[in-house]
Each structure stands twice: as structure tokens, then as C-alpha cells.
Chain A
Amino acid sequence: MASILPYFADAYTCFALCFFRFCLQSVGRETSMLEVLQVTRCFGRRMALEAVSFQAASGDVVGVLGPNGAGKTTLLRLAACYLQPTRGVIRLNGLDSFRQSLAFRAQLGYLPERCPLYDDMTVGEYLNYRANLKGFTFGKARHRAREMADQLGLGDLRGRLLGTLSFGCRRRTAMADALLHAPRLLLLDDPIANVDPLECEHMAACVTRAARHAAVLVTGHALEQLGTFCTRFLVLRAGQVVADVARTELEAGYEGVRVAVEVAGATEAALKRIAALFPGGTEAVVSLLPDGWWQVAWAPQQAPGTIRDAVANEVARQGWRLRAVELVVPSLTARLTDLVAGRAIAGRATTDKGDA
């Protein structure tokens, strides 16, 4: 009897959830919220994840980054109800991933890393089968499968066997499967690995579209591509969250910015005082260029936007001649790389050069 009760509880939860969703949809303000609270996962003695906590709401595209073996896939598998947390809780709109697993999974879209598909089925058959599994009635399942195939550019491949498709097309099929039931939580495990730029762009558009009504967790190593559509970055290292930073915050930050000013008519000692105008930065390095101009360079602890004007004003006030104020601002990819590698962010990417 005890083993039957959870099924009734699941059925009741499903019904309640459907009613709740209907009510929310009718007033047009449905939101979803994923809560990961102190989640730990051990494989034998090895701790794959340790006390991981974060939240993601609909509209969030969270890039889960980290070196190989950091626990990214484990985190996604836990959120997908494939694994059970050793400790901690994962909730989606209040539903527990383990105790209310069926209702949780009804709101979940998951794209595993290897895109596993049944090679003996055609694209159409597979999507139809998956739509049926996800609770669509027979007619609606066919309609929805066709709609998703068209949306992901698989319309012409519906009759092709999955085993004969390229990896990119297989990934698109798996993505269509993940999006079939308009999930509230979308989990994508390395969706842009080994795909061409066009495919990557297509994938990014799909994710952005899905994120309107869903929280999205996406892992990967292609930081440049991830940077184009992720709104937040969660960095894991050795199973622990070492950074949880919004993209806007990362872009606006001044870490890694380097300033290089080229002037003439000044003395070395006077030039060093320029850096002192921006307190908290590194000590200025002054060098004499071959053409007789002085270069002074330092890393400021200040938002880069205000630096150029302040330097120009100071040089004009001293009566020196200014040739260039070079702001080396690291790109988002460089900042992400440094974040993942655990290095202090170093200015070594795009150059914003302004001539005086």
C-alpha cells in the first residue's frame, strides 16, 4: 500500500500543477524558479559536488562553467532527476526533485551531452514518441512533433533514420525533444560543442526563445559562444561554486583593465604621479619610447569609462603633449577564461585605443 501511495500523490500533484499553470497562464504572468539548496553529491568516497546553492528564475540563462571534472554534468543530472542528491534539495516552483519527481520532470527539458537517440527511429517517429511520453494525446503529439521539427529546421529530415544523421542534426533533434513540452526548466549539457558557427547561432536563438518562459542551465567550454547568450555565469571548481556573477556585472567590472598613456614634455617623476590620481591601482611603470615619447602604464582600480577623460584633463593641466591613451579592456571571453581558470583577470584582449 505504501508503495502505491506515492503514485496517487504524484497524480494529485500533476493535477494541481496543471490547474495552477492554467490559472497563471490565464492571467499571463507565469514564472518559474529553480532553487538548488546546499546540494552535495558523492560517488563512493569522491565528492562530485559540495554544498552547491543557487537560484535561477525564468529569463535566466545560467552558464555553468568550470574545468573538466568540476561537476557540471553531475549538477545537471541532479537537476534533471537522473541522480539523487546525497544531501540538499532541488526545487522547481516548490516541487522537490526527488519526492515529487514526476511533477518535476513534467516541467523539465533536458539535453544530455552525448545526444542519445534511438538510431532505429526516424526523426518524426522519435519526436512523436517523445511527445507521447510527455503526455500529449496522439493527435496533439503528431502536431507538436511536426511543429518542433519545423522550428528547428528538421522539417526535411523527418523521414530520415536518426542513425544516419550528422552530429549537428542529432543535436537539433535532441534539442527539439527537450523543447517539445515548453519546459519551465531547460537543462542543456554542452549544447554547442563541435558545432559550426551557424548551428551555434541557431542554438543560441533557440535558447533565448526558450528562456522567455523558462530558467535555463547550460554547460560548456566554448566560452565565447556561451558569452553571447548567457545572462549569468556559475563557475564550479572541484565541485564547489567559486563564482556566481551576472554578465552585466562581469562586463562592467574593471578587473584586468590596463591603461597606457603616451606623453611628451614631462619628467619621469611627474609621470608617476598620474597613476596616483587613480588610487588603489598598481604602481605605474614609466618607460622611454624609441621616438623620445614617455609611456606610463598601470592597472587602475576604477571603472574604465572615466579614466580617459581624467588622464586627458590632467595632461592638459600639466601642459604636456598627449599622443595616446590606450585602455586595454579584456573581452568577456578572456574574463570568463580567467574566472574558470581561477586567475586574476588579466588585460590581454580587445584594445580600446583612443588618440588624443
Chain B
Amino acid sequence: MNRVARLIWWRDLCGSLYGSASYGMLAGFLALTGWSFAELLRRNEGGFASAQAIWAMAVAPWLPALAAAATMRLFAEERQTGTLETLLTAPVRPYDIVMGKFGAALSLVVAGVLLALLPVYALWQVAPRMDGEFSGVGLCGVVALLVLQAAAWTAIGTLASLLAKQQAAAGVLTVLCIGAPYALYAAALAWMPRMRHHFWQWPPLGDVEDAATGLFALAPPVLYLSVAWCVLFLCVRFLEARDLQTR
């Protein structure tokens, strides 16, 4: 990230933290992941799943929603207030604008993921007998994979924010873009139950669970990085086309 992209990243991050919306968004995410974590722990009582796997399964489903909330203001808000006009007429490359804004949103999402570790830490402190169930390597692996997933979802949200005129529309578009493949997957399983033998779990959740149990593969990180890169490339091309006013 170069100097201009860093400037835009810092401005957008400060802008996000200025209002109460970001804090509300993070609080909502923490509440949902905390509730999911507690619920999954309760259901798994006496089971074999490790604590970090349960935590990862509690966080991963809410990540697209957090990414949608963090990205929906990026371009849509600037377009509404008109500041996009001054930004795009400054001598700044579209690449720097996209990277700066993507970086700011990703920082918020990563902050959310790291803050969501608090219940795990608390559990670790209050239940010393669970010490053996936590694996530092597994936890680091799953956090790294969640960050990569977050990068992919955030990139999709950045593109949605660029395309949509309203912030809410951008958020809905992001959730739809990420949720549509899942809906297709669920529909496919419903129509063809035999597929369960081959794809027993939604792949992004399966990847997270694998990482939590120490099963690392190269394919998931490559996939998420590729998605992020391709979508950000599209964002740059859209900005370079300089035809935002007509959409």
C-alpha cells in the first residue's frame, strides 16, 4: 500500500470511527458471535469438537454481514455526500482509492474478528480445565483463514458499494452476492441428498473447521485471495471508466 492509499485508508478509518454506526456494528457482531459461541458450546457439551473450532463456527457465518456493514458506506456514502467528486478529481489513481477504502473496511472487519476472541479468552481464564482443548496453532490458523475470508467478503462489499447509489442497497447487494452461492448450495443439497456424501458442509465453513482442527490446505487461502484480488481489480476498472454519474 503506497502513501496515497495509506492516506485514504487512514481517513476512511477515522471517518468510520467518528460516528456511532461502526461501534454499533461491532457491538452487534460481538453480540451475535458471543450468542452463537455460547449456543454451540451448549450443543456440543460432551462432544469432541475443540473450543477453537466451535468459536470459528460461531464467527464465520456472521462475517459476511460484518463485511457488508463495514463496506456499505465506502463509496455509496461518498457518492451521496458528493465527496466522491472531489476525490475522483484529485490526482489520485483509482487503484489507490480502492486499496485505501478496502483497507479501511478490512481493518474494521479484522478488528471485529479479533474482538470476537474475547469470549474464548474469558472461557480460557474461567475454565482452566479446558486448557488442553485449546490449540494455539489451531487458533492462529483459523484466525488467519477468517481474515482471508474477510478480505474476500470485504472486496465484494467494496464492489457493491461502488455499484449501489444507496448505502442500504450496497449492504443488501453484498449479502446477496455472498449469500446467493450458499442459497444455491442449500437448494442443491435439498434436491440431491446424495451430494451430502461429497459436500457435507458449506465449503467456507468447512475450510474454517478444517483450519481449526489443524488441517491446513493451500486451496482455501488461494481461493479467498483470488476472489479478493479479482473483485478489487473490477473495482479499479469501474473507477477508471469514470462513468459513475450515469449509473
Contact = CB atoms under 8 A, between A and B. Distances in A.
A116 B82 contact: yes
A52 B95 CA distance: 31
A180 to B, nearest CB: 10
B89 A80 contact: yes
Interface stretch (B10-18, B115-123, B142-150): B10-18
Query: How many A residues are at the interface, by size bracket?
Result: 20 to 34
Interface string A1-36: 001000100100000000000000000000000000
A117 B83 contact: yes
B10 to A, nearest CB: 9
B230 interface: no
Interface in A58-113: 77, 80-84, 98, 101-103, 105-106, 108, 110, 112
Contacts of A98: 242
A3 B81 CA distance: 30
A215 B95 CA distance: 29
Contact of A116 (B4, B81, B237, B242): B81
Contacts of B88: 81-82
A342 interface: no
Nearest to A110: B89
Given A84-B241, A98-B242, A135-B91, A112 B85 contact: yes
Interface residues of B, number: 28
A188 to B, nearest CB: 13
Contacts of B241: 84
Contact of B242 (A43, A81, A106): A81
B90 A116 contact: no
B82 A112 contact: yes
B246 A43 contact: yes
Interface string A105-135: 1101010101011101100000001101111
Given A82-B242, A118-B11, A134 B85 contact: no
Nearest to A114: B82
Interface string A334-349: 0000000000000000
Contacts, number: 78
Nearest to B88: A82
A46 to B, nearest CB: 10
A79 to B, nearest CB: 10
A84 B245 CA distance: 10
B194 interface: no
A10 B93 contact: yes
5 contacts: A80-B89, A84-B241, A117-B83, A120-B19, A130-B90
Given A82-B89, A132-B3, 17 more contacts: A7-B93, A77-B85, A81-B89, A81-B242, A82-B245, A84-B241, A105-B92, A112-B85, A116-B81, A116-B83, A116-B85, A120-B14, A120-B15, A121-B14, A130-B90, A133-B4, A133-B7
Interface of B: 3-4, 7-8, 11, 14-15, 18-19, 81-83, 85-86, 88-93, 95, 233, 237, 241-243, 245-246
The 5 closest A-B pairs by CB, nearest first: A116-B82, A120-B18, A106-B91, A105-B91, A116-B83
